[in-house]
Amino acid sequence: MRLCNPKNLTVQPEHFLEIRDLNFAYDERPILRGINMDIPKGKVVAIMGGSGCGKTTLLRLIGGQIRPTGGHVKFDGKIMHELGRRDLYETRRKMGMLFQFGALFTDLSVYDNVAFQMREHTDLPESMIRDLVLMKLDAVGLRGARNLMPNALSGGMARRVALARTIALDPMLIMYDEPFTGLDPISLGVIGNLIRKLNDALGASSIVVTHDVQESLQIVDYVYFVSEGVIVAHGTPDEIRSSEKPFVHQFIHGEIDGPVPFHYPAPPYLEDLDLEPSRA
């Protein structure tokens, strides 16, 4: 049983999100270069890489917030940057986004946070909205917290409420921007488990932008590694764990030095001190 609004039901191809030769730059500074990805229906895909490599920019391009400087994102058979305002908003209703720190409406209760999209984007009666809100909150284990305000929630609880809000309209695509940031080990495990279970229950696809290697590799089906705006490796979790590519190995094992150096480029230390080696 889907959790949902029947307006979202459409027949989808196997890869209903396709990214082809995607480029993006801020002025003359390139951020993404020649990105190609396929996100299959029903799968959880991780996008990993160092800070500033373009992961969140990629999510913004998928959502149509910004336009590529080359290539395209095709979602549900539509090229995102070619859509007019009305079609873009309609297409976005098929997407859900979990922001890095949840971004709950602080003046609304847990219940009203989850009900917000249903009230804004559907004509459902309040009695049905109530049933759906309780269903979403029950799915994340927080039905009993529906009357609490966000400032009464722990970090892990707030993230779960945000997740319930994200799936309010049963999106076909769910995007997570660093969903594990700032969570304790128990909450981290809970969120990881929910990402996997909710994706499977909804029959959706999920993109997880994350730095948390170990938790992510336990729940995802496929991984793309991005470095300096290009995809440097991709594969299943087992293929990634056994990768001999220097950048992937350094990232997976948290090594201090490697392709990503510990020292920022600088002249020899003694030169900076204005000392001759013989005097040191």
DSSP for 135-204, written as a single string = HHHHHTT-GGGTT--GGGS-HHHHHHHHHHHHTTT--SEEEEESTTTT--HHHHHHHHHHHHHHHHHHT-
For residue 260, the model assigns a pLDDT of 67
Torsion angles phi and psi, residue 209, rounded to 5: -90, 120
Q: What is the pLDDT along the chain (280 residues), one digit of tens a residue?
A: 344 444 444 444 455 799 999 999 988 788 899 999 998 888 999 998 877 777 889 999 999 889 999 999 999 888 999 989 899 988 888 898 888 766 888 899 999 999 998 898 888 999 999 999 999 999 998 999 999 999 999 888 998 999 999 988 889 999 998 888 888 888 888 888 889 998 998 888 999 998 888 888 889 999 998 888 889 889 998 888 887 787 777 777 777 766 666 677 788 777 778 665 555 5
pLDDT of residue 3: 45
Which residues lie closer than 8 Å to 196 by C-beta, 6 or more apart?
Answer: 44, 219
- Helix or strand or coil: residue 68? coil
**List of residues 6+ apart from 100 with CB closer than 8 A:** 177, 178, 179, 181
Two structure tokens written together for 113: 């946070």
Using DSSP, state whether 20 is helix, strand or coil. Answer: strand
Nearest Cα to Cα of residue 46 among 33, 30, 34, 59: 59
129: helix, strand or coil = helix
What is the model's pLDDT at position 101? 67
Question: What gap in Å lies between CA 117 and CA 123, rounded to an integer?
Answer: 11
Question: Which residues have a Cβ under 8 Å from the Cβ of 103 and sit 6 or more positions away?
Answer: 162
| Structure-block tokens of residue 36 | 């190609």
d(CA 112, CA 197): 24
Please state, in angstroms and as integers, the Cα–Cα distance from residue 30 to each residue in 25, 52, 210, following that order. Answer: 4, 12, 22
What's the Cα-to-Cα distance from 280 to each of 10, 263, 268, 270, 271, rounded to whole Å? 73, 21, 13, 8, 11
Q: pLDDT at position 261, please?
A: 67
* Residues forming a β-bridge with 111: none
Provide the pLDDT for residue 4. Answer: 46
For residue 39, CA distances in Å to 28, 74, 116, 134, 238 come to 29, 11, 28, 30, 18
Contact present, 167 and 3 (Cβ < 8 Å) = yes
Task: Check if CATH label 3.40.50.300 holds for domain 6-243.
Answer: yes
What separation in angstroms does the CA of 113 have from each of 119, 153, 171, 180, 192?
10, 13, 17, 20, 22
pLDDT confidence of residue 125: 92
- Given this model, what pLDDT does residue 218 score? 87
Residue 273 is predicted with a pLDDT of 80
> What confidence score (pLDDT) does residue 128 get?
93
Q: What pLDDT score was predicted for residue 275?
A: 60
